Structure 1
């Protein structure tokens, strides 16, 4: 029996509005040497029934589990995966045509790369493209471990393609870290694999009110700080800690000013960078109520 070269893993939790479009965008790729593995992570909406309806037509692997989080769902999918390469794809995003072929070709030509990322196009909940700054840089970016740590840079699920041996070498996903991309990025770079980012746009990344960055920025902050704690002796640690705090400030200066105030106080002012000061200006001016406002 011929084994697939690529395993595409899709963990799903309560994405009944998007799961069909997501899975069809994968199944209709112009590359056929892959398997699709979907894990329903205890959804309480109609996600499971919609996945099963598609499975009856396309016959991919489908597993169900109690709600345990993304990392546990990915480990479940990995236990069934046979591919040399692994793609993790969020169940509310859309894979663009040619994505698998492009990334696999690059990985085959670059055996030193353990994790390959790319760029996205942002869309809203209805699939309409959002205006955002697009870089004109067409070079492939290569990140070192220290650079990834200092910038708190994660190769996100919407664009990530992993070498399976790299995932296995670092022990898979840590179920205690439910926001998993950052930890996996660092671990793979730490053990010596290269991490490259293609300039290609390979996914439509959906922004909506249930994105983790909007709904769980406090827990994401906790997870990210836990991830870098093991690297406290690395010279890039403090820069990475500030980068993580800056991410949390993006939402908290709007959603929870008391929490934001505590984040600002947790970093000595002399260590603030331009982004921290930008967040602080938003905190003080942009989101302050005018005098006399009720």
Structure 2
């Protein structure tokens, strides 16, 4: 039996007229043809520029406008409107390589269990679309993926392919989160489903001064520290052993250095204090 599921490419956009055409064009250029493209305008205030660009594609895309509420709310509207069996996120300033979806569907065909999340390597591009670095991800065993989410950043959201049924079971992105909504979602999904890495570069992830993450660095730090502090403090010894296969001391040290490297100093300090607490108990 052939496996040709519909894939919904969802593009959340806020004041993204400069890069939106490249994103939409890359979605339309996919070699895998059973797709739909959904553009969600998250209340852009750019004098109609974003709307004009999206509308210029006619019935090649589906366009929705909503009051500004953040990326999570735009993604959630797209998920609610999607007709596909798989969700594929494309930020308005990122670009898919033509084989992005096809490579992932081909990979899924080989799996007995297709209810998994796929993610891949990616290129970094600047505001002129020039590639300046390729990011190769260190694969993590599915059962240790939550540990990887704590100590590193293994997933770029736009590389993912997610079965719609997972959102039906886990729930949608948390709309109260403005910067860490993706890693909150991955952590929740990884509690019950496997993440599988495809060692191929499938997208171009753009870095530019006007990115939302650059404009919300203080909020990003606050949300990240709150999120990881809660995660690290609530993990039981048995859960830690399950997701890391490490003794508590080594786990907390890994969290200390990993979170510090990610820029979450408060949660890094918490992990270090938990490490010191173990040492005190041993004397």
Same fold at TM > 0.5: yes
- Aligned residue runs from structure 1 range 112-261, under 5 A: 114-130=116-132, 132=133, 135=136, 141-143=140-142, 144-153=144-153, 155-179=155-179, 180-191=181-192, 193-228=193-228, 229-230=230-231, 232-234=233-235, 235=240, 238=252, 239-240=254-255, 243-248=258-263
Structure 2 equivalent of residue 13 of structure 1: 14
Conserved in 1, the CA contact under 8 Å of 2:88 and 2:162?
A: yes
Structure 2 residue corresponding to 1:52, chosen from 30, 51, 55: 55
CA RMSD, Structure 1 to Structure 2 (Å)? 3.0
- Aligned residue runs from structure 1 range 43-82, under 5 A: 43-45=44-46, 46-54=49-57, 56=58, 58-82=59-83
3-state SS in 2 of match to 1:79: helix
Provide the TM-score with structure 2 as the length reference.
0.78
Conserved in 1, the CA contact under 8 Å of 2:259 and 2:267?
A: no
Structure 1 equivalent of residue 102 of structure 2: 101
In 1, the alpha carbon distance for the partners of 2:268 and 2:221 equals: 14
Report how many aligned residue pairs link the two structures. 253
* Gap change, CA 1:265 and 1:184, over 3 Å in 2: closer
Provide, for residues 256-285 of structure 1, a one-character-per-residue CA deviation record: whole Å limited to 9, x for no partner.
Answer: xxxx8x89877759979xxxxxxxxxxxxx
With 22-31 and 147-156 compared, the bigger mean Cα shift is at: 147-156
3-state SS in 2 of match to 1:83: coil
Q: Which runs of 5+ in 2 are unaligned?
A: 245-250, 277-283
Q: Which runs of 5+ in 1 are unaligned?
A: 250-259, 273-294
Conserved in 2, the CA contact under 8 Å of 1:141 and 1:198?
A: no
3-state SS in 2 of match to 1:35: strand
